[in-house]
Structure 1
Amino acid sequence: MIDWKAVGLKVGIEIHQQLETGKLFCGCSSDMKGEPEIMEVVRKQHPVPSELGYYDVSATYEELRNRRFHYSVVARESCLVELDEEPPHDINREALEAALLIAHYFHSWVFDEFHVMRKTITDGSNTGAFQRTIMISKGGYIDSATVDGDLRVSLEGINLEEDAANILWKKDGDVGYGLSRLGIPLVEIGTDVIEASPEAVAEVAKGIGLTLRATGRVKRGLGTIRQDINVSVRGGKRVEIKGAQDLRSMPAVIEGEAKRQLDLIELSRAGLAHAVKRNGAIIRIEGGAKYLSYPLGNSTLEQEIRDMETVFILPLSMEIEGDDVVIKLGEGIESKYSLVEERLKEILSGPSEETRAVVSGARTIYTRPLPGGARMYPETDVPPISRPSLDLGPVPPPYYVVVNELRHRFSLDQSSAEELYVSPLRLIAEKALKETHLPPAYVASVLMGTLKSLEREGVQVSLLADWQLLSILKLVDGGYPKEAVEGLLKLVSERRPSDEEQLKALADSLVGGEVDLQKIIGEVMERDAQLVKSKGMGAYGAVMGDVMRSVRGKVDGKKVSEEVKKALEKALSTSSGRS
């Protein structure tokens, strides 16, 4: 067990969350529905100096990889703005207002005027080799309940950005991108340094995600939120890890990076950086063999060497000759040989500032040097934007306080309470408690259980309006049979009544007129006479089930249960008297 305080673990979180609006600087859809491709554009990208004349190290590195980028252009979801062939349109006001609401939820200080900047990105994910970004606010915090106790984590601020294009394929050094995602507005939330256990950090990330969804202004589903983490230990360097999507594996990713840096710190003390010798396609690390596991296994040094084959797209093999490690490079251009040599010296000198990506489970791989400040410059196609005047209301309580209240009030487990917290159905549940006498647990079972079950069956529950759901719950409060609710929800989603009178008529048509419950029970008892005779009160379940199928939700189950028990007791009493 690692003592995280002793090793000086420091972690920062970056959350990138798509907003539920159209694209940020054009009128294209952000639905990503897989529209057909109308053409492909192929480009290469080259770094340019910043306003101060400096080249960003990550941009220079990407140029050495010498890659071509193929862009898939689709109808409705991309246009000349995405291709950087047309200036950006006016900013999407709905996206700007959503970003301001999110800043409000995180107690972040909003600027009076917003300036659009360009961030150099030459990995092909942006057609123009830059990403537009806007600083919306500074500071703020989130309160979280964690395994380390209650934490208040400060934020650096909140940015509104364009999302990048999504990778479709990779082949022989070329990369294919789709333009449907490029330009979708997202908020970037970065925390200050968190000095806590990896498990506590994951819980902070979870809290940020829940708070974002509680605003009701963000997209839901796979790929709509991405989490990056920055990790360092004492004596190490800041490493940004991209793609730490799974909160369950986040602690292992953090721990793995901390251990990797500790291993490299120890390795750097051997002075092997000066023992790297290259002769064409052969690289020798003199005296490095003892720092590999033998037979070749999974030491940090060996994994870093093997990863270079993937990173630089260059076949290599590794052998041990006496005390030396010999790396033989496959056929490739001279610049790639130099990249491998420089990367080796970097590894043997200790941890470096770099970007890595999660490749499987908790394992990460080097992708490029960590970008610096030289990649930011002003966007001159978009004028400054004044802060709109909005009434955002009071800041809600911390997410975990509300979740705990929901858990206890609606008798939910932790997972269901969190789901209700971020769901639009929470407002309906709250209204139902105020306007009906229904038990909270029943309200939750309809909104969290029945609706989900119907959706799995293919019923379009998303078409149900808030007022329709509330009206159905009010009908139940007025005596409408609970057993008929599922059928009524299906019917309402199909017929879509426009007012309460039409909905009531649908409810009446489903239940029908008066039901002769006693007659139905008598018929069932007569049909099941032998079962009742042999099992007595043990036949209750079978009789109850037959009666409920006959009344088809037209009578409340509680009343049916009471009458079936009375009928069974009477039949058994009569039978006993005769004997």
Structure 2
Amino acid sequence: MDYEKLGLKVGLEIHQQLNTERKLFCHCPTILRDDEPDGEILRILRPTLSEVGEIDRAALLEARKGKKFLYQYYNDSTCLVELDEEPPHEPSEEALKIALEVALLMNMKPVDLAYVMRKIVIDGSNTSGFQRTIFLARDGYVETEDGKVRIESLCLEEDAARKVEEREGIVVYNLDRLGIPLVEISTAPDIKSPKMAKDVAKRIGEILRATGKVKRGIGTIRQDINISIKDGARVEIKGVSELNLIDKVVEYEVLRQVNLLKIRDELKSRGAYVIEEIYDVTDLFKECKSRIIKRAIERGGKVKAIILKKFSGLVGKEIQPGRRLGTEFSDRAKVIAGVGGIFHTDELPNYGITDEDVKKLRERLKAEEEDTIIIVADEEEKAIKALEAVIERAKEAIEGVPEETRRALDDGTTSYLRPLPGAARMYPETDIPPIYITEELINEIKSNLPELPEEKVERFIKEYKLSEELAKKMVLSYYVDLFEELCKEFKNIKPTLIAKTLEETLKEIRREGYNIENIKESHLRELFKALSEGKLAKEGIPEVLKGFCEMPEKEIDEILEIKGLKGLSREEVEKIIEEIIKENIEVVKEKKEKALGMLMGRAMAKLRGKADGKMVNEILRSKIKEFI
């Protein structure tokens, strides 16, 4: 697609957890738990008027769902702040400094006085019904190969509670994640293509990792993407967790908006409109073979229907891969009313609904072939609520592209989440005084700014003699700081071997199915210490790492013993090599030095992990000369 002609504008909001000792507004640790919680509390959240006397439309929608929220807590790692039973404590100074460091690395201007704001969120992800956020810096930029992209703002805020499961009418959250500090970085809508969106996110991610003070792993960084095209609308897509998905999400959203505009034009040319009356057609479906409809009626539910005049053929039209306009209608019904889905005549007969069923339905409603009928079978209140949502979405289809917040799916497509929030969601936090950002603090941070990734790559090539490719991998690695520490501690080990172990060997054994999450930094230090002291040959590194994956509680000496990798002395290696030469003496006498390759293979089969390959080669060459 010609993105310039389409007037594509993209802005990113990047949320990154900070690796601090305590949470943002209390002194609880920033750890996630997988053990049983100590207790749980049940809450219902309701929207309130903002400072301007309005209720935010996104909050209002959440309240209408009527859900209850169950919060799991721990006595030793969550407190009354997370439970909203105690006012917040002073913000974490450590988190504040990290956030300001990130801001300065992106050429931003910190504020002099920072105010804590409340952002209304009543989807249950925060016990208080709002998220606390601190606006810290503005007017920065990052450089990309497509030019500068402005960074409009950087905020320091608390992460949300972790969703565990959803039961009938109850959403269960764990409070371990609630309050972990994160930075929210918002770009201007300067991004003009899907590839540029991915490149900008990658660049910001590199700057964040350069600090060495952000958390790593799945769920620690999340990207929200704001996308619009000419004649379309601004749509916010939440929760893109994979960098490699960003360009596809942008591409698919542009495709969706282009197709919705084509549908709009077709609907207008037909003179399409929506009849707002909801009809009860339960009696027509009493003998219907559809299991969904049969089950709904047996449970005392109703079958309700609406007519979309002159929509025929367009509700079933694909707008994203595998998603149609009818999917958009279904999303609204599911989110707002909690029904399982909808039926529409563009896809019938199907699902046990016959031609005869459709014919009777059209006759009852006096609907023409050019009309689309939408059907919902569920509890009467839910069915009506679902069809009211479909009516609203169908009206929006006639107008074009609705502004809304959508959820990113694993394949790059999106689904409806809620209306786009408005300004009515923000108001001041009354429990925390303003924070003074002094010139002395900024100067202190400026004097200790870390290297940017490209500077570190250049240094790694010069100082550690890494290849450019390996240097780039290492700079972006979770283990970058450990790499430098190990290089300084074990000067007799080549930095290239340390880097390849951390960046390549670990990934190789993970692909083999080993759980490398069991490997701690202490294990890696033990590994390289054993290597440095000659207890282990470099060929044994993969097996030792596998041993730590399987038996993380064991010491390295135990792993070496179990794996049969205890290093041999030179005398022991010489003895084994002499035996190998004697076993193959005829070949040695015939081929002389040319037998080295064959002998080396047989020697390493016996000595791999127990002796250094270089030493084995050296001894072999010497011993061959003795025997010939």
TM over 0.5: yes
Aligned-partner SS, 2:107: coil
Within the candidate set 452, 457, 462, 2:521 is matched to 462
Within the candidate set 427, 442, 453, 1:399 is matched to 453
Q: Conserved in 2, the CA contact under 8 Å of 1:252 and 1:362?
A: yes
427 and 75 in structure 1: CA distance in 2 versus 1, 3 angstrom threshold? closer
Aligned-partner SS, 2:262: helix
447 and 377 in structure 1: CA distance in 2 versus 1, 3 angstrom threshold? same
Summarize the alignment of residues 138-537 of structure 1 with structure 2, pairs less than 5 Å apart.
Answer: 138-144=138-144, 149-269=145-265, 270-271=267-268, 275-280=273-278, 281-293=304-316, 300-312=324-336, 313-314=338-339, 315-320=341-346, 321-330=368-377, 331-333=380-382, 334-387=384-437, 389=441, 390-393=444-447, 395=449, 398-400=452-454, 402-403=456-457, 406=460, 410-412=465-467, 414=469, 417-426=472-481, 428-429=483-484, 432=487, 441-449=496-504, 460-463=519-522, 515=571, 520-532=576-588, 537=593
Q: CA deviation at 1:171?
A: 3.2
- Can you list the C-alpha shifts for 1:49-76, whole angstroms capped at 9, x where unaligned? 1111111111122222222222222333
569 and 340 in structure 1: CA distance in 2 versus 1, 3 angstrom threshold? same
Distance 1:266 1:550 in 2: 70
Distance 2:505 2:322 in 1: 50
Aligned-partner SS, 2:166: strand
- Can you list the C-alpha shifts for 1:251-288, whole angstroms capped at 9, x where unaligned? 11111111111222233333379711122243211111
Q: Conserved in 2, the CA contact under 8 Å of 1:40 and 1:73?
A: yes
Q: Which region of structure 1 is more displaced relative to structure 2, 232-241 or 385-394?
A: 385-394
CA RMSD of aligned residues (A): 3.9
Distance 1:544 1:72 in 2: 60
Distance 1:265 1:418 in 2: 43
Q: CA deviation at 1:452?
A: 6.7
Q: CA deviation at 1:523?
A: 3.4
Distance 2:38 2:537 in 1: 54
Q: Conserved in 1, the CA contact under 8 Å of 2:216 and 2:478?
A: no
Q: Which region of structure 1 is more displaced relative to structure 2, 434-443 or 383-392?
A: 434-443
Q: CA deviation at 1:156?
A: 1.1
Distance 2:197 2:243 in 1: 10
Distance 1:224 1:347 in 2: 36
39 and 517 in structure 1: CA distance in 2 versus 1, 3 angstrom threshold? closer
Q: Which region of structure 1 is more displaced relative to structure 2, 425-434 or 235-244?
A: 425-434
Q: Conserved in 2, the CA contact under 8 Å of 1:38 and 1:73?
A: yes
Residue 48 (structure 1) aligns with: 48
Please state if 1:6 is matched with 2:55.
no
Residue 114 (structure 1) aligns with: 114
Distance 2:139 2:533 in 1: 48
- Can you list the C-alpha shifts for 1:206-231, whole angstroms capped at 9, x where unaligned? 22112212211111111111111010
Which amino acid in 2 is paired with 1:362? G
% identical equivalent positions: 36
Distance 2:118 2:372 in 1: 44
Distance 1:327 1:452 in 2: 50
- Can you list the C-alpha shifts for 1:366-404, whole angstroms capped at 9, x where unaligned? 111111111111111111222362344365565356447
Which amino acid in 1 is paired with 2:453? Y
Q: Which region of structure 1 is more displaced relative to structure 2, 291-300 or 514-523?
A: 291-300
Which amino acid in 2 is paired with 1:159? C
Q: Conserved in 2, the CA contact under 8 Å of 1:64 and 1:335?
A: no
Q: CA deviation at 1:451?
A: 6.7
Q: CA deviation at 1:184?
A: 1.2
TM-score, normalization by structure 1: 0.83
Q: CA deviation at 1:190?
A: 0.9
Within the candidate set 581, 594, 600, 1:544 is matched to 600
Q: CA deviation at 1:28?
A: 1.9
Q: Which region of structure 1 is more displaced relative to structure 2, 63-72 or 10-19?
A: 63-72
Which amino acid in 2 is paired with 1:73? Y
Q: Conserved in 2, the CA contact under 8 Å of 1:214 and 1:423?
A: no
Unaligned runs of 5+ in 2: 279-303, 347-367, 558-565
Distance 1:338 1:486 in 2: 60
273 and 257 in structure 1: CA distance in 2 versus 1, 3 angstrom threshold? farther
Q: Conserved in 1, the CA contact under 8 Å of 2:24 and 2:92?
A: yes
Residue 287 (structure 2) aligns with: none
Q: Conserved in 1, the CA contact under 8 Å of 2:154 and 2:184?
A: yes
Which amino acid in 1 is paired with 2:177? R
TM-score, normalization by structure 2: 0.77
The number of equivalent residue pairs is: 553
Residue 104 (structure 2) aligns with: 104
- Can you list the C-alpha shifts for 1:135-193, whole angstroms capped at 9, x where unaligned? 1111222223xxxx343211012111111112222233432222111111111111111
Q: CA deviation at 1:118?
A: 0.4
Q: CA deviation at 1:20?
A: 1.2
Distance 2:599 2:524 in 1: 37
Q: Which region of structure 1 is more displaced relative to structure 2, 531-540 or 98-107?
A: 531-540
- Can you list the C-alpha shifts for 1:53-108, whole angstroms capped at 9, x where unaligned? 11111112222222222222233332221121111122222222221222222222
Q: Conserved in 1, the CA contact under 8 Å of 2:334 and 2:386?
A: no
Q: Conserved in 2, the CA contact under 8 Å of 1:143 and 1:398?
A: no
Q: Conserved in 2, the CA contact under 8 Å of 1:289 and 1:324?
A: yes
Q: CA deviation at 1:196?
A: 2.5
Unaligned runs of 5+ in 1: 498-509, 575-579
Q: CA deviation at 1:109?
A: 1.4
